[in-house]
Structure 1
Amino acid sequence: EVSAKRPDWHFVIIGPVVKIDVNDLPRAENIHYLGSKKYDELPVYISHWDMALVLFALNESTEFISPTKTPEYLAAGLPVISTRIKDVVNPYGDADLVYIADDAETFIKHAETELDKKSREEWLMQVDEFLSDNSWDHTFDKMSKLINNLKIQVVHV
């Protein structure tokens, strides 16, 4: 729907198609499915993008997904528009770091807002601050504390 309403925009989709029939994917002249790429190839593609998309269907398979693409795109300095994936909404959407789109009109509005921006400097500072506390080491430490606290509670019961 968005590609039909904005035929001058191009949607470059990189990555495998999983849990959906390839024939069910939307087709248009401005939608380009490039398939999987090696990680060392991605910076070349990303350097040409205006924004990044987290395009997960909302279904049973994606109910508990936590896409690592989100912080990767943010770390690359790209604005992100995502479907309403729980682990994208909280924390990224709630922190106003990522746009959440539930329909074509909202998607277009968010994209136009971002494309009209003169500067992303303030947003980039917010992203950097947020991500500085979001390393794998920090995540591991938080999870270890949660697990250890749970073990202590179970032992005391």
Structure 2
Amino acid sequence: MNIMFASHTYMGSPFVVGSHHLSREMEKLGHSVIHVSTPLSLFHLLKWKDRDIQARFRILQGKKVDTSAVVNSVPMSLLPWEIAGPIFKKTQKNWMLPAIKKVMREHEMASVDLLLIDQPRFVGLEKLVSPKVTIYRPTDIYSKMTGDASIATAERTLMSVVDGLVSTSGPVLSELQEYNPAVPTLLLENGVEYEHFSAPAEEPEDLKSIPSPRAVYVGALDERLDLKGLKLLAKEKPNVSLVIIGPVNEETKRDFSEFANVYFLGAKKYATVPAYLQHSDVALLPLSNHAANAGRSPMKLYEYAAAGLPVVVTETPELLRRQERFLHFYRDSAELPDQVEAALSAKQDRLAIREMARSHAWESKVNTLLDFIDKLQVKIG
């Protein structure tokens, strides 16, 4: 098939997301894949100091940042969504859409068999490329995550035209299904690049001097993270080294400066993350009460597990539903330190934890997705 992903995150970003993995797996199966991410516009030049903006412009200019055969496209549009969104809400015309036909011609894709939209800001793309099958694949409750009313309008419109809804969590599925209960659905949680995270890796140099036991967190430090719980962990368990991997600002560093057992190692390349996990003792997924967290399907969950780590995580309806035996739940920030201690004391079999993660490999996920699409094609005729 000729497949197009319309994603919120460009390939080569510090964050590797589900659309990247699914694109690569589909390409391995022999499909032609174009991965298009949120367009740039001339207005983005006003934010040129942002390294993320610079990286996206380099891809736009043709610099290859990924070894995959998947086409990685960051196209240009007339307006950014901040301007185009309110216009769409009033007129149903999306001025953020790029000249996608040009992208297709450049990469010799005459038509699109399957369009998968992860980014609701691409609403209307299905009209431009006329795919045989269109799937909306939301990975979060975007309207609550962004607080943008235009996103809710975009999702409502998408749900009126797509052939199927594939959601990464139960709460997201329920939220979107209300717009059009007749649309066929598939609940397909985010997966893991199993071999990447489970293959033995040497201990990183900047980890060697950090005492064990090590509790590791990998990811963004934003309002969706339970920073209060992390501070309590650092304070109440001084014997536990808290290793935080991800982009961090100076303000957050200052907030934790009183704790000698907290180590900010900064952002790490995806290729090196397994080594940090494998040489830690417990993984953390501490979520705040932010509305968007209820619908999250964190890829870190099974990445941690594939590295053999038990995971201490905040209770959410979605994660409780999964009943994974390697998860240690806590309800509020005050419970995090004791749950970390309990997870460390349990001394779970790391090999057994890895085996629990194996069934969530992306290879399995893409086969399930393609089976769902095959059934839709039969139904559509």
TM over 0.5: yes
The change in CA–CA distance for 1:147 and 1:40 in structure 2 (over 3 A counts) is closer
TM-score normalised over the length of structure 1: 0.72
Q: Return the alpha-carbon distance in structure 2 between the equivalents of residues 124 and 72 of structure 1.
A: 14
Matching residue's letter, 2:264: Y
Look at both structures and tell me which one has the larger radius of gyration over its CA atoms.
2
TM-score normalised over the length of structure 2: 0.34
**Pairwise CA distance, 1:86:** 5.0
The change in CA–CA distance for 1:75 and 1:103 in structure 2 (over 3 A counts) is same
Equivalent in 315, 323, 327 of residue 84 of structure 1 = 315
| Structure 2 match to 1:112 | 341
Provide Cα deviations, 1:72-118, integer angstroms capped at 9, x if missing partner. 11111111111235554342xx122211222244323322222223x
Structure 1 unaligned blocks of 5 or more: none
Equivalent in 255, 276, 279 of residue 48 of structure 1 = 279
| Structure 1 match to 2:372 | 146
**Pairwise CA distance, 1:141:** 1.9
Query: RMSD in angstroms over aligned alpha carbons?
Result: 3.0
Pairs within 5 Å for 1:96-135: 96-117=325-346, 119-121=347-349, 124-125=351-352, 127-135=353-361
Structure 2 unaligned blocks of 5 or more: 1-231
Contact 2:328 2:343 in 1 (8 A): no
Identity fraction in percent = 27
**Pairwise CA distance, 1:22:** 6.0
Contact 1:67 1:87 in 2 (8 A): no
- Determine whether 1:23 maps to 2:251: yes
Q: Return the alpha-carbon distance in structure 2 between the equivalents of residues 11 and 37 of structure 1.
A: 16
Q: Return the alpha-carbon distance in structure 1 between the equivalents of residues 336 and 247 of structure 2.
A: 23
| Structure 1 match to 2:242 | 11
Matching residue's letter, 1:106: E
Question: Which structure's residues are more often helix, by fraction?
Answer: 1
Q: Return the alpha-carbon distance in structure 1 between the equivalents of residues 289 and 374 of structure 2.
A: 33
Q: Return the alpha-carbon distance in structure 2 between the equivalents of residues 131 and 46 of structure 1.
A: 14
